[in-house]
Each structure stands twice: as C-alpha cells, then as structure tokens.
Amino acid sequence: MAKLRPNRKPVFFWQGALILLPVVVLAAVSLVSLRQDSRAAEADARRRASENAQSLARAVRSSVNDELQRFLTLQNVWTLDLFSASQPYVSNAPDTQLNADVEKWERDFPGLTLADLAVPQGKILSDGRQIEPPDFPIVPTPPKWFRELSPAQKCRWEDLRSAASPADSKARQEAFLTNQPSEDARDAAFFLAFRPDQILGGARPLATETGVSFQDIACYRLLSATDAELSTPLLNSVWNQAFESPSFIAQKLLDLAGGLTNRADAASRQKYLWMRTYWSCQSRARECLGPIRDLPDLKPWKPLWWSHWTRRGETLAILQAMTFVNPGVDSAGDSLSGQGYQVWFVPRAVVEAIFTKALTENRFLIPDYAAPALAVEGWPLPLRGAFATADGKDLLGRSELRAGSSFAQDAIRFDLEFFLTSRDQMLSAERRRARLFAGLILGTAFAALAGLVAARRAFYRQLELNEMKSNFVSSVSHELRAPIASVRLMAENLERGKIPEAPRQREYFGFIVQECRRLSALIENVLDFSRIEQGRKQYEFEPTDVLAMARTTARLMAPCAAEKGVKLETDGVEPPAAPIELNVDGRALQQALVNLIDNAIKHSPAGETVTIGVERREGTAPVVGLYVADHGPGIPAEEHDKIFERFYRRGSELRRETQGVGIGLSVVRHVVAAHGGRVLVQSAAGQGSRFTIELPARSQHE
C-alpha cells in the first residue's frame, strides 16, 4: 500500500537554492580566477620588463661601443695633433678633416666641448710609476747624483756650497772633483761654482738638491727678467721644460711665458696658445692618473683591458695592459721599462652623454611602467632627458654587460636596471579586463537574483491560484447544491400531490424555472470560463440592437431582483430611444451584462435600486457604454484591478455573505475585450459601484 505523505505546504527553498547555487559557485570561481589572472598578468609584465632590460642592455652596448670608439679615436687624434702643433720650430697646418670631425661630434653631443674635456693618453707601470705624461720629480727628494754621493764627497759638496767668493768656489769645486763624483754631480758642482744666481742678478743661492733642473731655473730667470721677450728659443725652452722634463715649476714657467705673449709675434702667440691648451689637457691626464697609480689593482699586472673611475668619479680610465721597452728614465734616473698600462680617459660628461644617447635611441624598449637606472663601473649615472626617475624600490629587471667591444675590449662594466614606477599602469590592461568580467559576473548574479525573485513570485502565485481553484470547486459545488436541493424538494412535493392549490403550484413551477435558469446561467459561466481558459471560446458577431439586448436582459433579471427585494431600473434603454445597432456576439454580451446585473443585485441591500443604462460618447472614437450601477458596499480603488482576476473574490472565504465563484468579472472582461472594448469600474468603499461595458460604436467586426 502506498504510504501517504503528510500534506505539507510546499516551500520555495530548494528551487531557489538550485537557481542560486550555480551562480554563486560560478561567481566565486570567476573571482578567484580573476585574482589569479591578475597575479599571472603581473608576473608576465615583470618577466617582459626583465627581458626588455636584457634587450635594452644589448642595444645600449652596441651603441656605446660605436660612440666610445668614435670619442676615443677623436680624442687621441686631436690631442696628438695639438701636441705636435704646439712644438716650436715645427710648422703644422691645422687638420681640416679633424676639425670637421670635432665639430660634428660637438653637434651630436650638444653642451660638450672637446677642448675642455680631452685628456691625452697616459702610460703607467704596474708599480705605479708614470711614463706618460712625464712625472714631476718628487720634491724635495734630492736628485740621484746627490743621493749617491759618498760621505767624503758630501763633505766636499757642503764646502763648495758655503764658498764665500768666486775664487773660493773654484778651488772648492776642484777639491770636490778629486773625489770622482758622477757626471751629474760634476755638472751640479760646475753650475754651483759659477753662481748663476749672481750672473742672472738673483739674490738667493740655488738649491739644486730639490730636483729642479738647472734648465728650469735658467728658464725661470730668463722669463722673469725685466727685458724678457718671447723669442722662439725661449719658447722652445719653455716647451722643453713643460713637456720634456716637467717639474712643479713648469706651470709657473708657462704663466710667465703667457705674460710675455702680448709682446710676441702672432706665430709665437699661436704656438704658446696650443702649448698652453695641451698643457691643460696633460694636466688633466696627470690629475686623473694620480689616483689610478695608487690603485692596488695594478699589481699583479693583468694582460687585460679594464676600467676604473678616477677619484670622485670624474673620469673613466680604461687601462690596456702593455709592456714598455725603453720608454725613458724617471726623475730619479731609473729605467721605466717593464709591464704597465696604457690609459685611455673618458670624461664623466662624455660617459653620461654616450649612455644617455644609447638609451634614448632604444627607449622603445623601456616599458611605460618602468624607469631605467644605469650604473657604469659601479657609479650611478644620472640619466638626462625624458626618462622617469627610478625610486629604486621595486626592481623589475636587471642586466649587467660590458661595453667597449673592439676598441676597449669590453673593459667597461655597466648595470642596467628597471624599476617599477606605476603598478596601476603595469596592470592597466588586466584591470580593464577584470572590471569587465567583474561587471559580467555581477550582471549574471543580478539576473539570477531577479530570476529567483520572479520564480518565487510565480511559485507563490501558483500556490495561491491552486488554493483559489480548490475554493472555486467547492464554491461551484456549493452554488449547485442549494438550488438543486430546493428544486428537487419542490418537484417532489408537486409529484406527491402535496401542493394541491393551483396558484401555489404555479408559484412552485415559477421557482423551479427560476432556479434552473440561475443554474444554467452558472453552468454557462463555468463552461464559458473553461472555454476561455482553453482558448476555445468562439464568438459569432452579427448586427445586434444592444438597446433591445439590454432591455431583454433587464427583464430576464427582474425576478432575481424581485426575489432579493431590489428594484431594477433602466435608463435610456426603453423606447422611444432609437436602437443602437452594433456588430456583436449578442449571446456573449448578454451573458456579460447578466454577470454585472447579478453582481449588482447580489451586493445591493434590499430596497435599493440597480440601474441598467446606456450612454453614448461621440468624438474621434465614439463609444457606446452599457452600465450597471448599484448602491451596494462599493469596492476600494486598490481592488479595482484584482476583481477581474479569475477566482478572485473579495473578503475571506468564511465571512463571505454573497454567493459566487469568482469568475463572473473575468468572463465579462474577456468577452468585452473580444469586442474591442473595455470594462470600467467606478466605485469606492460605501459608495456603490458602477460597471460600464464600453464598446466601440463603429465595431471593428463590421
């Protein structure tokens, strides 16, 4: 036997859960995957930036190689040219091709002037001694010959120095020579014995032990003489003192010579100018070499190219390992042969300009969310130009390469780094996509929610309808049972002859007919309703006098009204009103009118009047209105729509006083709509009701 389930009220929970659950799961999964997507996009952007850093470094290297070679060549040729032009007795026409190259280079690197920057090559030994430019004698170290004097020789030397008169000097010089001093010592003794200070009019005796050569001093005296002129031999000797055997006094000699140029001829002035320019270039080389010579890296000697910033990073020195054979002697007279380095200099401004140019040429490799940072041999280079400044916080990519290629054989190490400038910019494409998807997810969730609400409403509406339907069934049964019972009772009484009187019998028959009519009206309504619901209801339109139809209907309903003690009145329906002929389904329209009159009678208290009337409205769309007005309890405005819904009955099932099944008005509305008309309600609680069937005067079915 089938087990009966308890009749539980269905609830809309699982259905709702089934609608929402997939959406919630989908949204959650999408959100998680969006998050992952964003992480992947970030990783991707970082990887791209890192790859770009590598490519950019390679591109920078190749551009720097070219420019470095160009600069070093130009600097070398230019300084050599200047050096040879500065020599007296040598006439050099200016090299026009070289000048054109220099001009072009200066145009390519605006703001840089080669003459202000150029540093001639240097040469040093790995023990730190300087070959090129020639080193100054170390002051106040005595010269080599003085250091090599024996104690006896030293004694004689002191005697010579303290000689009081020229004759005395001569004797003491000879005494000194008897001890066989070296050749330099002899020269020194010879010079001292002649007292050039006295010859040249100076006041102090010479101090040859400081390493200043006699030529230096002689030159100094000549230049500072009151009647000195910048003759070619004097210029030559200045040149010799400045470039052949320079000492700390060379600068002074050049300055003195400079003071004489206004009295010199144009050629000497030009020579002096070149000499002076070369001197300042060479001084820069000397200055730059100073710290390089002290580097501990020089030893052991490395047969490689390498580079190093000079002190404070002003100049980049590129060292080329080299073995020097007989390049001369140092100020102490020792040979400068040996393993060392040729040093090429690149001023910092040029390094910056070359790297900035290389970066600018390849800036398309810099992602818009990154800022580059560059360091050359460990020194950060400020990047001039329109590059974002790196804050050094979030490193995206880094590449370390060596530049210098063919010329300086990859001697220069540089690091290129990319730092993140804007996370928002890096993820902008991804963010747009994420926003789109988030919008879609939200839209879907919203649609699902709306669907859920609609489904829930439909669900409960269906429940309500089901309840109404079952009420309808019980109402119909109830409506049928009472009249059938009374008809049966009266018919039985008549059959058994219990009502002998003829007038009573007529009354009974009248009742029976009346009840049967009401029953068939009810059944007709139910059948019509069912046909309408199934879409099977057919209308037969034919020209009908609606006034006559209204009259007949009023008469038909009169007994019903009388039974209830309600007065039925007509308004403008009776002759002599002219007939109104419309193309309608007379039967259906009559049934609609019957439903309205039946409702009016039902809801009118005994003694009240129900009016059936006709009104015409002319205009562009003329209408004919059949109205039924009563003085019943009326219908509140908020229920004017609801009463036309099927099965809808006002009030609670238990407390309802009027009979009915709740389909009358829905049938009326359907019938009227089929005629192209509409049903209007004018009613308010406690003020009676007036239902009007409005039909187009020129029926569409004509």
Smaller CB separation from ligand ADP, 217 or 597: 597
- Residues 87, 362: contact at Cβ < 8 Å? no
Rounded to a whole number of angstroms, the minimum distance from the CB of residue 610 to ligand ADP is 9
Among candidates 323, 615, 656, which has minimal Cα distance to 479? 656
- Residues 419, 392: contact at Cβ < 8 Å? yes
Strand 678-683's sheet: what is its strand order? Answer: 567-571, 609-617, 623-629, 689-696, 678-683
Smaller CB separation from ligand ADP, 390 or 594: 594
- Residues 323, 125: contact at Cβ < 8 Å? no
Smaller CB separation from ligand ADP, 307 or 595: 595
Rounded to a whole number of angstroms, the minimum distance from the CB of residue 464 to ligand ADP is 15
Residue 202 CB partners (closer than 8 Å, separation 6+): 196, 221
Rounded to a whole number of angstroms, the minimum distance from the CB of residue 635 to ligand ADP is 5
Smaller CB separation from ligand ADP, 52 or 683: 683
Among candidates 238, 248, 204, 243, which has minimal Cα distance to 218? 238
Distance CA 576, CA 580 (A): 12
Distance CA 105, CA 78 (A): 12
Smaller CB separation from ligand ADP, 273 or 556: 556
Smaller CB separation from ligand ADP, 216 or 630: 630
Return the amino acid letter for 27.
A
Distances (CA, A) of 543 to 188, 538, 579, 584, 700: 156, 17, 11, 6, 12
User: What stretches of 87-182 show up as alpha helix (H) in DSSP?
Assistant: 96-108, 114-117, 144-147, 151-161, 166-177
Smaller CB separation from ligand ADP, 326 or 652: 652
Smaller CB separation from ligand ADP, 586 or 662: 662
Smaller CB separation from ligand ADP, 172 or 603: 603
Pairing of strands 581-584, 567-571: unpaired
Rounded to a whole number of angstroms, the minimum distance from the CB of residue 591 to ligand ADP is 12
Among candidates 40, 43, 41, 52, which has minimal Cα distance to 417? 52
Rounded to a whole number of angstroms, the minimum distance from the CB of residue 508 to ligand ADP is 27
Q: Residues interacting with ligand ADP, by CB under 6 A? A: 595, 599-600, 603, 630, 632-633, 635, 643, 648-650, 660-666, 689
Rounded to a whole number of angstroms, the minimum distance from the CB of residue 649 to ligand ADP is 4
Place of tokens 């119909």: 476
Rounded to a whole number of angstroms, the minimum distance from the CB of residue 693 to ligand ADP is 13
Tell me the backbone φ, ψ of residue 654, rounded to 5 degrees.
-75, -35
Rounded to a whole number of angstroms, the minimum distance from the CB of residue 650 to ligand ADP is 3
Rounded to a whole number of angstroms, the minimum distance from the CB of residue 617 to ligand ADP is 22
Smaller CB separation from ligand ADP, 170 or 650: 650
Residue 28, H or E segment: helix 14-86
Rounded to a whole number of angstroms, the minimum distance from the CB of residue 521 to ligand ADP is 11
